[in-house]
Amino acid sequence: MASRRSRTGAGGEAEASAPAPRRSRGAAPSSSADSNNIKVCIRVRPFIEREKGEKCIVEMPMKDVMRVLDEDGNAQTFNYDRCYWSHSREDPQNGFADQNTLMSELGMELLNNSIRGYNDTLFAYGQTGSGKTWSVIGGKDMNLDAGLLPRMVNQVFQMLAQRKQEEPDWTFQIRVSYLEIYNDKLRDLLNPIKQGQDKSLEVRQHPKFGIYVPGLTESASTSSEEVMKLMDFGMKARSVAATSMNDRSSRSHCIFTVSVTQIKGDNPEKPLSLLRSKINLVDLAGSERQKKTNASGDRLKEGAQINQSLTNLALVIHALAKSFTNEGKNANDFVPFRNSKLTYLLQESLVGNSKTVMIAAVSPARSNYDETMSTLRFANSVKEIQTKAIVNQEADADIIAQLKAEIKALKGEGGAAVSDAGTQEQLAMLNDLVGKYGSNFRQEVEAAQQMEQMRQQALVDMGLSGKGMATAMNMNPNTPYLMNVADDPSLTGCLVYFIPINEEVTIGSDASCTIKLNGLGIAPVMCQLVNFNHTRVHVKPVADPETGKYGRLLRNGRAIGSTPTTLEARDRFMIGRSFIFKLVVPLQKEISQSMTEEDAIGDHLAEIMDNTSEEFMQAKAFVEAVASRIGEEAANNFLASFAQAIPLVQEGNDISAELRKRDNLLLRLDVVTDVMGYEGSEPMLCVRLWKKEPAAAKMKRVFKRVVQNKKMNKHVFNIAAYLTGIGTDPNEDLYTDAVIDGHRCQLIALWSWRSFLVRLAGMREAYDDFKSAQMLNPRLASWSPTSDNHDPWGEVSYLDVRQSSTLNNLYQYSGSDSSSSSSSGNLLPPSTPASAREVIDGLRQRLAIAEKELLQARQRSELNFLPEKRKSKKPQEAKMLAQELLEELRVMKAELHAWK
C-alpha cells in the first residue's frame, strides 16, 4: 500500500515523495489513543437536488484511499486515516457509511478517551453545503439522522450512569458551553440576554490550565435532554442574530463543549481520584472563498470577502505542518495562533493537550471540483500535525491553592504597581479561575435551571416556539407556521412561528408585535397575518404612520407592495432584508414532507429580481439597443445580472440611510462598456457613490441658478443620462453636480461590482456592530468608523482602480474580445514611481483619443470619422456610442484622479 503522503498527479505519474512518515496508515483506522497525530477523515455526501445528473468525481477504493478525477478523467490519489463513502448505497465501494458508522468509529473513540481523562476535539471542515454540519449536528429527524454531537451527548450520560452502577463511589459532573465566532468576535449562545447587551468575551491563556474564555456560560447539566435543549436554544440564537441575509451564518464558526468531571470519594475537595476532560465539537464556517449562484456566472458570485479566521487557520496549519514534516528543523518558527480568536481557541486542539479528529467534508459533484481539491489539500497538511495529550487528574483544591499562591506572589511582586493595567488583567484572570474551580456543582445546577427559565422566556418574547410544541400550547396541530430558511442547512427550521386561526398576527420590530424581528429593513410593524381554515394565510401590509411608505415584503421573490395577498403552502415570504420564511401547512402533508435541505436560501435568492424598478426598465432599454452587437444570449444574461444586482444596491442604500443619516449618501447601479473592445464587449456593472446636496444648500442654489443652455445636446440621444441621471454637459468634470431623482448630487466614488460586494459585506458588519452598540446606548444615532474597523463607504481605492476593466485593458487589451479585460493580471502597484507614471501617461493618451472620437461623433452624429471597426450605418447607434464614449471618458477621469 502507498505511504500516507504518496500522491498521483493528473497525468498518472507519481509526484516527488515527501520525507518518510512517522506512522503507518493502515486500511482500518488506528486508535488515536495510541498516537498523538491528528486523525484525519474524509466524508463524501450524496448528490443534492441541483447536482443530480452530474458525474461523480470521487472514488474510495479502500478505507484509507481517496481518488479525485479531473475533467480529463485523470486521478489524483490521497491517503488519510479513514475515508467514509456516504454518497450512494447502490455503489458502496468500501462500504456505505451512515451516521451510525461515524458514531461507532469516531464518536466512541472520542468518548472512551474522555472517560480516561483526555481532552478531545472534533472539528469539521469543508465548503458550505458539503455536509460537515450534517456529520456534526445531523438532519431534521434527530431519531434517524442525528449527527455525532447529539449521539455523543446521549452516550456519555449512558456511559457515566453505567460506571456509577459498577462503581458507586464515583460521581460525575457535566457542564456545557456553546460559543459562536463571527467577524473575530465571540458570542455566548447560551446567554439569554439580547445580543449587544451581553458583555464582550475575550480569549485568555494560563500557562498551566490552558485556553479559556472568562464569562462564558458553562451550564451544569444532569441529563442529555437538558444538553439538547441548550443546543436547540443556541441554534435559535444563531438564526436570530443573522441580521444580514445569506451572510452571517455561513461565515461564523461554532464550538460546542461538553466538560466532564469524574470524582471518586465522598469529599469533592479531597477526592481519592479525579479525572477532568473536555469534548470540543467545532463546526467551522464554509471554506470556499466564493459561492456559486444559479444566475449569471461570475458577475454575481457571492462571498467576495474572504473569511479571515479560516485564512489564519490555514496559515497556522501550514506553519505547523512545515515544522512537523521537517522533523523539528523549524520547531522555533513562529506560529500565528493569536492572529484570530478562532486559531487562539483551537491552539490546544492543534498542538496542545488534546486528542483531535478532523472530518473533511467534500462534494462528489464535478461543479465543486476546485473546492473539493482545496479541502483535501488542507486535510493533507493537518495530518502531519501532532498533539500532546495528557490525563487531567488534578483536584480542584490543589488547583485553587496554586492559583491563590500565584495571586499572592503577583501582588507581592507588584507592590505599588498592582494598579498597572497588565497586572490588573492577570489578577482578574486568576480570580476568575479560582471562581471557576471553586464553584459548588449543586449551586451551579440551580443557577442553570434559573437560566433555562430565562431562555424560554426569551423565546416566548420573540414569538418563537418549536415545531413539536403546537399541542403543548393548546394549539391545533394543523396550525400553519412560518419556518426560517438559511444558507446553513442546520439553521433552516430553527425559527418557527405559529399562526393561530382567526387571530391577527403582527410582524415587526415593535415590542407589541406578535412576532418580533430585528434586522435591516424591519419597520415597527411590517404586516398582519390571518390564518384561514388552516390552509392558507392572508398577508395585509401595514404602512409606516409617519412616512406612509410600506416595508419590503416579497412573496416568492416578487414585491407585495401595498396590496394584500395570500400565502399558500411552501410559498416563500421575505420580510425586510433580513429574513426569509417558508409557509408550512400541515394539512398538505405531501408538500410539507417534501421540504428538504434543498430549501436553502441560495436557491431562493435567484427569484428576488426587481424587474419592475425604474433602473431595470432603463437597463432593459439599453440592452435592447446593444443586443445587436453583443448577441441575444449575452444581452439576456446581462439583464438577469442587472436585475439581481438591484436588491443588493438597495440594501446598501438602506444601510447607508440608517448608519449615515447626516451624510445623504446614495448608491446607484450603473453600466460601463469597454472602450477598447467595443464590438465584442459585454456591458459591465459598477456602482457609483453619490452625496446628495443638503436642503439648505439646495435652497440657496435655486435662487442663484441661471437658466442653462438646453440646446447644447439636442442632437444627441443621451443614454448615459437616461440610465444614471448624469448631467449632459460633456465638458463637466467628473465631480461636478448631477441630478438624480430630483436631487443634485456630487460623485464621491466609482466601484467595480466585485469591489462593491466586498464593501457591502463591510456595510453589513458595520450595521451589525452599530445595532449591538445601540442596544447598550439607545441614544446612539449614527455610525462612525473607529480604529478597529474600516470605512466601507471610503473613497475610491487602489484596489478599485486595479479591478477596473478599462484600466486593466491598458496592459491587456488584445483587440479580440472582452475576456482579457476581466483579469487583474499585469498591473504594477503605484508604489513604483516609474510604473505609476507609465499608467498615468497611458490613461492620458487614451483620454485624448476618447475625447477626439467623442467630438467627431457629436459633430456628425455618425461614425464616419471613427476607426473602421466602429463604423455603423445606423445614426441612432452612433448617437448612443457617443454617449457611451462620454461615460467611459468619465470612468478614465476617475481612474486618473485616483492614480494621481
Q: Which residues contact 558 (CB under 8 A, 6 or more apart)?
A: 607
Q: Which helix (H) or strand (E) holds 230?
A: helix 224-241
Q: Do domains 36-241+248-288+307-382 and 462-605 have the same CATH topology?
A: no
Q: Give me 68's grid cell.
A: 479525485
Q: What is the chain's alpha carbon radius of gyration, rounded to the nearest angstrom?
A: 31
Can you spell out the DSSP letters for 697-734?
HHHHHHHHPPPP-SSTTTTS--HHHHHH-----TTS-T
Cα gap 816→679, rounded to integer Å: 9
Q: Which amino acid is at 346?
A: L
Is 470 within 8 Å of 498 (Cβ atoms)?
yes
Is 567 within 8 Å of 555 (Cβ atoms)?
yes
Q: Which amino acid is at 240?
A: V
Q: Give me 778's grid cell.
A: 439607545
CATH architecture of 462-605: Sandwich (2.60)
Determine whether 366 is exposed, middle or buried from the number of CB atoms within 10 Å of its CB (0-12, 13-18, 19+). middle
Q: How far apart are the first and last CA of the chain?
A: 62
Cα gap 585→599, rounded to integer Å: 15
The values of phi and psi at residue 117, to 5°, are 100, 10
The values of phi and psi at residue 19, to 5°, are -55, 155
Cα gap 75→70, rounded to integer Å: 7
Is 490 within 8 Å of 137 (Cβ atoms)?
yes
CA 291 to chain centre: 10
Angle at 537 between CA 531 and CA 539, to 5 degrees: 110
Q: Which helix (H) or strand (E) holds 402?
A: helix 396-414
Determine whether 364 is exposed, middle or buried from the number of CB atoms within 10 Å of its CB (0-12, 13-18, 19+). buried
Is 37 within 8 Å of 385 (Cβ atoms)?
yes
The values of phi and psi at residue 505, to 5°, are -100, 120
Query: pTM score, two decimals?
Result: 0.71
Nearest to 243 by CA among 767, 661, 721: 767
Residue with C-alpha cell 445569506?
246
Query: CA torsion sign, 815 to 819 to 822 to 826?
Result: negative
Cα gap 361→376, rounded to integer Å: 9
Q: Give me 96's grid cell.
A: 456505505
Angle at 672 between CA 670 and CA 674, to 5 degrees: 170
Nearest to 350 by CA among 371, 329, 374, 381: 381
Q: Where on the phi/psi map is residue 131: left (φ > 0), alpha (ψ -120 to 50), or beta?
A: left
Compute mean pLDDT per 10 residues along the chain, 900 residues long, and list them.
36 32 35 63 89 88 91 90 89 81 94 92 89 85 83 94 90 93 87 68 82 90 93 86 53 90 77 86 75 37 52 84 65 75 89 89 91 91 85 72 73 57 69 72 87 85 58 72 80 85 89 87 93 90 89 89 91 88 81 42 48 65 69 76 84 89 86 57 80 66 45 37 35 50 77 85 83 72 66 57 37 30 33 49 61 56 41 51 61 56
Cα gap 742→491, rounded to integer Å: 43
Q: Which helix (H) or strand (E) holds 283?
A: strand 273-283
CATH architecture of 36-241+248-288+307-382: 3-Layer(aba) Sandwich (3.40)
Cα gap 349→320, rounded to integer Å: 12
Cα gap 354→346, rounded to integer Å: 10
Write down the pLDDT at residue 138: 85
CB crowding 460-482: b at 16 or more within 10 Å, else e: eebbbbeeeebeeeebeeebbbb
Is 668 within 8 Å of 688 (Cβ atoms)?
yes
Write down the pLDDT at residue 298: 36
Cα gap 206→721, rounded to integer Å: 64
Counting every residue written for the chain, the total comes to 900
Cα gap 349→364, rounded to integer Å: 29
Is 147 within 8 Å of 236 (Cβ atoms)?
no
Angle at 608 between CA 607 and CA 611, to 5 degrees: 100
Cα gap 673→619, rounded to integer Å: 13
Q: Give me 647's grid cell.
A: 436588491
Cα gap 202→213, rounded to integer Å: 6
In 242-394, which residue ranges form alpha helices assigned H by DSSP?
A: 308-325, 341-345, 347-351, 369-382
Q: Which residues contact 554 (CB under 8 A, 6 or more apart)?
A: 560, 572, 573, 574, 608
Angle at 181 between CA 483 and CA 346, to 5 degrees: 130
Write down the pLDDT at residue 502: 80
Per-domain boundaries in the chain: 36-241+248-288+307-382, 462-605, 614-899
